[in-house]
Every structure is written in structure tokens, then in C-alpha cells.
Structure 1
Amino acid sequence: MSKPKTGLLVESLELPETESSNDMWRGMAHVFVKAQKTTGRRLILHEYLAARLANYLGLPVPFGEISSIPEGREAWVSGITSRDGKVLPPTTYESMLENERYVLCGVIAFDQWIFNGDRHEDNFVWSEDIGLWAIDHELAFCGDRDGDECIDWLKECSTLPLNMSHLARKGITDEDLDDWSSRIRLHGVKYAERAIISARKRGLLSLATAKAYANFLRIRSANIRSLTKEALKGNTGSISPVSGMDQLF
């Protein structure tokens, strides 16, 4: 039995309207579709921000976009499946540590930056030919919280480490995360600004909420090394933040 190839399943092709020197068509392909929930309006925003921030950092998170689906609903659509249209199976931490330790450490630092406590083995996709991909970020930042509750949560949690002691027990060290933490510390403010401005253009958040997300990411990027160090120890109390950075927006 042959191994499934990763990529996208294209079901149909339309001939281009004008001739081209290349073989180019419009096609219909299988993608992942996650509909916005009827309660809480953060799913699309969080998937959008996480995808943009990860791509800026150089982390393998599937790129996606907002889409309209039946019944007037909106959804987050991204494309990473197998070429037979089936979902690729998740992996294990042991396999990731053996095959993709560097990328795994990048995801760990990234999760700490965006306060994503919903990372587990089912939220990774692994294949030999495309490597490791991180998926599912809807519960990062403030989770399902909306309105003032979301803004208050982002402010309260901006200096809280996520508990990552289970990863330390698997052999992950602060030194493993250092390269990725340095990228976040040096470039996180710039990446956050780009992603949030882009989300604003798509109508995904108000100016007041944009400020809350931007400052949340600003504080966590400035303190990422302290956050990861305390997280690996299992400490979840607020750290003393680095001061003197200008607020965004």
C-alpha cells in the first residue's frame, strides 16, 4: 500500500480565459473549513492572527483566509490535507522530538507568545515529505471571550507564563527555545503590528480591541525569555515585565 502524499486534492480544472505560455487553470480543491461559532466571535480572528504571525516567524502553520459559507456564515479556510482528500494523522511528542525538534521548539515558543494553552499532539500534523505543521489556534489569546471580557483577559494575562513543565520532562530546555525566543523578542512587535493592521482591514476587530491585542503581544514578546523559562519550571505566576516600550496603535 503506497504512502499518501501530502498537499491538496484538486477535483476539477477550468481552462483559462486567455492563453498563457504556462499550463495554468482555475481549480476546485479540498480544504479545511472551520465555521465561526454562533457564540463568541474570535475563532476566525485567532486563526488569522496565528497564521500570519507564524508565517512571519518562519513557522509551518497552514496559510489560510476568510471565506463565506452557506446560511450567511463566515469561516476560516486553510489547506493542508493529503492528495486523496483525507486528513493527515496527528503525531506524538516522541516522534516530533526525534524528527523535528527544532520546529517543535519554535511552536513551543510561539505558543507561549500568543498564550495558546490548547497545544497537544492532535494539534500537529506530521508527514515525512512536508515535515511538521502546527494547527488549531482558535483558543489562543483570550479564547472564546468577547468584548470587554476579552480586553480585560488580555491585559491580565500579558505577563503570565503558560505551564510547559510537561515538555521539560520530555527533555525540552530553555536553550532549545533560545533561537525562536530571540526572533520573537527582536521582531515580535513589528510582526504583531503587521498582522493586526491586516486583520483590521478585514473587519475582524475594532480599534479598541486591536490595541488590546497589540499591547498583549508587545508585552509578551519583550518578556518571552522570562516567560519560557518560568513556563518550563511550571511557574504560572505573573513575571516582572520589561518596561520602557512604546504602545502600538
Structure 2
Amino acid sequence: MIEPIAYQKKLEGKSNAHLISFSDGKDYVVKYFQTGFEKTLPNEWVSYCLARYLGLPIPFARIVDIPQSFSSQVPELAQINNTPYQFALTYIPDCQDGHQVPNIPNISNSNELASIIAFDYWLYNSDRTRKNILLKKEQENTYRLWAIDHAEVFGTYNWQIEEIEDLPVGIIKSATHQIMASFIEDENQLFDQLDIIETIPIFLIEEIVSMIPDEWMVTKEEKKAMVSSLLFRRKKILPDLMQKFVNKIYWPIHDNQHS
């Protein structure tokens, strides 16, 4: 397992993220387990594994072990309720978020945007804001888009079982989803994602959830609820949500573009 070698800085936001250099020569955005945000790391882990399987444009991530001997030497980390394992996302340099690029001319990986929208609706990620995408300039007027920050899937970073069993089934208010939809050339790309999500084996979903470290304090009942919610939403909820998205978001945007 890689080891932390140098602390860089604390990053903006409420998710307690820190930039740390590791022994593999890479920098990682490390999210620490913290009281009041207990489901942040489990949410991030489950989202990452499912997103990787689906081929979403997300940075490589892993669970890392940061020794107390390292954290104790860094004032920003010394007071954190330290568990052995944290969630680490590969840092992609030279990126801007959606606020820093208010007008996006072209997206080079526009064929991947439908997968992000479908994924957000499946896991009910209502936090797909401009801050939670990264844009890396590839050439003049063209950016590659990365999806980051899944701390608030299942509705929140501190969900309870009764909440996860009754997630909202309406349109998510997201200007970022609207931006992405404007670059999707065919609405069938959104429906194609339904078929792909349906192909994920149930045992794989169960395995991903079962690998949440015990130190992150997710009970067996909560893990079972996560799996049940994912299975229920992909079969019973997601098809209707994608149709609603196409009718209420996708078509109005594209009708305006062609008018």
C-alpha cells in the first residue's frame, strides 16, 4: 500500500479534503472520516467503484492508510478523528471547475456526459454543482470534463436508513446537468445508460458495499439498505426519471438551440 510522504494543503469545501503527496510519486485529494459527515467516505467508495465499472470520466481513487505518526505532525490533520483508512482521489493538475469556466465552448468527451447524468439520478446525487466538475483544457476552446465529489449520493453525507429507503424521485435541480445535456447530441444516449446500469451484476454491487471498511462504521443493516436502494432505483425509478429528464430538461434546451 502506498504511504503519505508530504502534506501540501487543505482544500476548499466542507468535505474535509487535503492534498497529500504519496510514495507512488502522485498527489491525492484525501478525504478524512469526520464526525457529522459519517457517510461521506462510504458514499465516495461505492460511487467510485460503480462509476469505474460504468466507465465514467472520474479520476482514479483508492482507500489509503495514513498513519497517526504522519497526521500528528500536520496541524490541519492532528485534530481530526483519525481512523486507519481514508478515501484518496488522484489529483489532476491544471484543471478549473465549472465556476472558473463560465462559458464552455466544446467538451472533448461529450459522449460520456449522459453516463454522468444517469449515474447521478441512479444514486440520487443532488450535489452535481459547477464545483463538482473539473475541466482540463486540451486545446483552444476545448475541455475534457471529469466528474468529482460523490459525498452526497443517497441524498446526504449523513443519511439514515429510513432516508435511503425513500429517496426523491423528481428532477434534480442542477445547472451543471443542464450544461452537460446541451452537449449531448442524441437523447438515446441517456436511455442507453439505463441498459448499461442494468448489466451490473447484483453480486458485484453487494461486493462493493461489503468492502466498506469497518472503521467507517456502516452497519450491516445500512449496507443492506444501500444495496436495496441501488437495485430498486435502477429497475423501478431510473427509467421514469430519464424520461422526465429528457422531457423537462433535454428537449427544452435543444429546442432553444435550434430555434
Amino acid aligned to 1:51: Y
Aligned residues between the structures? 204
2:162 and 2:216 map into 1 onto residues whose CA distance is 21
1:29 equivalenced with 2:26 (yes/no): yes
**Alignment correspondent of 1:123:** 132
In structure 2, runs of 5+ residues without a counterpart are 7-22, 73-77, 250-259
**Alignment correspondent of 1:215:** 228
For 2:31, what is the secondary structure of its paired residue? strand
1:34 and 1:139 map into 2 onto residues whose CA distance is 13
Amino acid aligned to 2:58: V
The TM-score, its normalising length taken from structure 1, stands at 0.69
2:96 and 2:35 map into 1 onto residues whose CA distance is 28
**Alignment correspondent of 1:205:** 218
Cα contact 1:44–1:66 (8 A) shared by 2? no
Aligned mate of 1:47, from 10, 25, 44: 44
**Alignment correspondent of 1:240:** none
Tell me: CA distance 1:202–1:39, structure 2 relative to 1, closer, same or farther (3 Å): closer
**Alignment correspondent of 1:153:** 163
**Alignment correspondent of 2:147:** 134
Amino acid aligned to 2:162: D
Q: Structure 1 vs Structure 2: percent identity of aligned residues?
A: 20
2:25 and 2:62 map into 1 onto residues whose CA distance is 16
Q: CA deviation at 1:203?
A: 5.5
For 1:136, what is the secondary structure of its paired residue? coil
Cα contact 2:170–2:241 (8 A) shared by 1? yes
In structure 1, runs of 5+ residues without a counterpart are 1-9, 12-25, 236-249
For 2:170, what is the secondary structure of its paired residue? coil
RMSD over equivalenced CA pairs, Å: 3.1
**Alignment correspondent of 2:119:** 110
1:93 and 1:105 map into 2 onto residues whose CA distance is 20
Matches within 5 A, 1:91-110: 91=98, 95=104, 98-110=107-119
2:174 and 2:48 map into 1 onto residues whose CA distance is 25
Aligned mate of 2:95, from 63, 85, 88: 88
2:174 and 2:128 map into 1 onto residues whose CA distance is 13
